[in-house]
Amino acid sequence: MIYLDHAATSWPKPPGVAAAMADFLATAGGNPGRSGHRLSIAAGRIVYDVREALAEWFGVADPMRVLFAANGTHALNVAIQGLLRPGQRVVTGGMEHNSVMRPLRHLQQQGVRVDVVPAAADGSLAPADFAVALHRGADLVVVNHASNVTGTIADVAAIARPAHAAGALLLVDAAQTAGVLPIDLRALGVDLLAFTGHKGLLGPPGTGGLVLADGFDRTRLEPLMRGGTGSGSEHEYQPADLPDRHESGTPNGVGIAGLGAGLAWLRERGLGAVREHELQLCRRLREGLAAIPGVRLFGPLEAESCVAVVSFVLEGRSVGEVGHRLDEQHSVLCRVGLHCAPAAHRSIGTFPAGTVRLAPGPFVTMAQIDTVVAAVAEIASS
């Protein structure tokens, strides 16, 4: 089996991920921050250690500004619904995932103004177009750091400048880039960053979070959910302190332990080495597919402009047929269709059919890429 669906979730995980999760359940299975006994303290220590490691990873000085969530979608909703109010304006890009577009469209029905900056046919977003859109001012800019359809990387730092000049906050969806590209909130000018743990960070499903920049005024963000936090239990109002203000209910301690192990593997291996390996895989994949008659590739030509995502269609074949035959006949696992991103497919001209998406990860080999290219060639010729 050749697994090329890392843009949906990474697999396999580093061996330490399952081991850390099993160890958490066996030796530190208490409720972190809820009790004073040894198991609760042990669980709380693990959760804090991972919070601290993530703060360092994303360039934030205060670990308490890393807010754990169930996934990237949850984190985006914490930010979007916690910041925007009727009458305010948000500017976003034409490559956004439904994790952004659906909450924005919901708020639009309640009086929030939503403006979308068009993307080019290769999925790229021009910072100059954002600057034009921001001449009228805005309260929030939301941008996808890299597309889950084409892999195209947005110039976040260049978008941050006109956003801040217009008085807007910048929220970045890092679902495809956390654990793949170096991310420093201070250097990029990002105010809030939503990440998921089960993709590039190599953690388990059910993990993710929202990172608040050190300079972000935390009082501007209203909680999405309220409830027990283990702190200030004498009060029936939500606490103001971070991270408790946004972390009601029992946290996913076992998942966070696994996320910490995935991050540890990345730090040991080196982000640069992982990125270079995936670049080599994508170059080989794009070159091989481009040589097959009837294949049309999407996204930038240069692998360096993308994360490890390659989308294509095959003339005369539905994307469903190609994906089914890759799975059933060649044991190649990929994803077809709209990838929960209809806006992106409209931007690149593949709506409503979508594309075949191949997304390699750190454990995929060159030999496997050659096998995939040969499999697509066989499907194209038959």
Least confident of 80-89, 212-221, 226-235: 226-235
CA distance 213 to 161: 15
Q: How far is CA 373 from CA 7, 62, 134, 189, 194, in A?
A: 19, 46, 43, 39, 34
Q: Which pLDDT value is given to residue 356?
A: 98
**Are 224 and 274 part of one and the same domain?**
no
Asked if residue 240 has pLDDT above 80, the reply is yes
Q: Which pLDDT value is given to residue 136?
A: 92
Mean pLDDT of 17-33: 91
CA distance 176 to 148: 6
Residue 176 token pair: 């495809």
**Are 193 and 338 part of one and the same domain?**
no
**Are 48 and 197 part of one and the same domain?**
yes
**Are 193 and 235 part of one and the same domain?**
yes
Q: Which pLDDT value is given to residue 150?
A: 98
CA distance 204 to 218: 28
What is the extent of the structural domain holding 364? 2-10+270-381
Residue 235 token pair: 């009060």
Q: Is 106 helix (H, G, I), strand (E, B) or coil?
A: helix
Q: Which pLDDT value is given to residue 38?
A: 86
Asked if 71 contacts 196 with a C-beta cutoff of 8 angstroms, the reply is yes
Question: Tokens 């931007």 correspond to what residue?
Answer: 347
CA distance 177 to 308: 10
Q: Which pLDDT value is given to residue 248?
A: 94
Residue 114 token pair: 């939503």
**Are 168 and 203 part of one and the same domain?**
yes
Asked if residue 231 has pLDDT above 90, the reply is no
Q: Which pLDDT value is given to residue 229?
A: 86
CA distance 231 to 214: 23
**Are 292 and 371 part of one and the same domain?**
yes
CATH number at residue 367: 3.90.1150.10
Q: Which pLDDT value is given to residue 232?
A: 83
Domain boundary among 215, 234, 268: 268
pTM listed for this prediction? 0.96
Asked if residue 30 has pLDDT above 90, the reply is no
Q: Which pLDDT value is given to residue 32?
A: 86
Asked if residue 208 has pLDDT above 90, the reply is yes
Least confident of 25-34, 108-117, 232-241: 25-34
CA distance 142 to 125: 12
Asked if residue 34 has pLDDT above 80, the reply is no
Asked if residue 48 has pLDDT above 90, the reply is yes
Domain boundary among 244, 268, 292: 268
How many Cβ atoms from other residues are within 10 Å of residue 42's Cβ? 16
N-terminal to C-terminal alpha carbon distance within the chain: 22
**Are 168 and 289 part of one and the same domain?**
no
**Are 124 and 255 part of one and the same domain?**
yes
Number of domains in the chain: 2
Q: How confident is the model at residue 165 (pLDDT cuts 50, 70, 90)?
A: very high
SS3 of 73-95: the string is HHHHHHHHHHHCCCCCEEEEECC
**Are 231 and 199 part of one and the same domain?**
yes
Which pLDDT tens digit goes with each residue over 167-206? 999 999 999 999 999 999 999 999 999 999 999 999 999 9
**Are 21 and 110 part of one and the same domain?**
yes
CA distance 302 to 213: 31
CA distance 12 to 292: 29
Q: Is 367 helix (H, G, I), strand (E, B) or coil?
A: helix
CATH number at residue 169: 3.40.640.10
The H-assigned helical ranges of 28-134 are 38-57, 72-83, 98-108, 127-133
**Are 327 and 250 part of one and the same domain?**
no
* Exposure letters 182-192 (e unless 16+ CB within 10 A, then b): ebebeebbbbb
Domain boundary among 243, 268, 293: 268
**Are 283 and 186 part of one and the same domain?**
no
On the question of a cis peptide bond just before residue 14, with omega within 30 degrees of 0, the verdict is no
Q: Which pLDDT value is given to residue 320?
A: 98
Q: Which pLDDT value is given to residue 193?
A: 98
